[in-house]
Amino acid sequence: MEYIFIIIGAIFVNNIVLAQFLGICPYIGVSGKVSTSVGMSGAVMFVMTLATIVTYLIFNFILIPLDITYLQTISYILVIASLVQMVEIILKKVSPALYQALGIFLPLMTTNCAILGVAILTVQNEYNLLQGVVFAIANAIGFGLAIILFAGIREQLDLVDVPKGMKGAPAALVVAGIMALAFMGFAGLV
């Protein structure tokens, strides 16, 4: 039951993009086409789950015993940056097809604040490892849901006659606002 609350909370109620404002750069930047946004959400799910597991272990088995939790930010970002590099190298060798699909999105992961954000939130919410993994996967699904829906709307938006001043980014931001308004309907669900 507790896991269902975490899942529904992360996907709908506190959607990582539309309610928590994490991962806005890829949300605005790579949402031009549905196909690229699907690739992006795949990469996010992969890295977010791995990063949450590794940072959880680091926090509980290195930072806490040594009493150096103030190094959280530095150690997390270093771990995430090297993890992204490692995943890239391994994927290239092991699964070239998956590497082709995720390839260009992987380097962007280092500066995706959703990854670091979820890793820090897992610690802040005092989840255990399994809860943390569920939380990460649910947040990745929430990210995927938001960005794929948004990409679908933006593909249509290109065909519409938008006022000259609002073309491009401004119109996209207002559309994102309306989506956030729709997601507010889930408030109070859990």
Helix (H), strand (E), coil (C) string for 35-59? HHHHHHHHHHHHHHHHHHHHHHHHH
By CB under 8 A, residue 82 contacts another protein: yes
The two tokens of residue 160 are: 């519409």
C-beta of residue 147 within 8 angstroms of C-beta of residue 19: no
Looking from the CA of 88 toward its CB, the CA atoms found within 13 Å total 14
Least separation in angstroms between CB 187 and another protein: 9
By CB under 8 A, residue 181 contacts another protein: yes
Least separation in angstroms between CB 19 and another protein: 5
- CA angle, 23 as apex, 177 and 148 as ends, to 5°? 65
- Part in contact with another protein (CB under 8 A); list of ranges 39-47, 93-101, 125-133, 167-175: 167-175
Least separation in angstroms between CB 1 and another protein: 27
By CB under 8 A, residue 64 contacts another protein: no
By CB under 8 A, residue 36 contacts another protein: no
By CB under 8 A, residue 22 contacts another protein: yes
CA–CA gap between residue 60 and residue 55 (Å, rounded): 9
Q: Which of 111, 131, 157, 186 binds another protein (CB under 8 A)?
A: 111
Footprint of another protein (CB under 8 A) = 18-25, 28-29, 70-74, 77-78, 81-82, 110-113, 115-117, 120-121, 124, 164-167, 169-174, 176-178, 180-181, 183-184
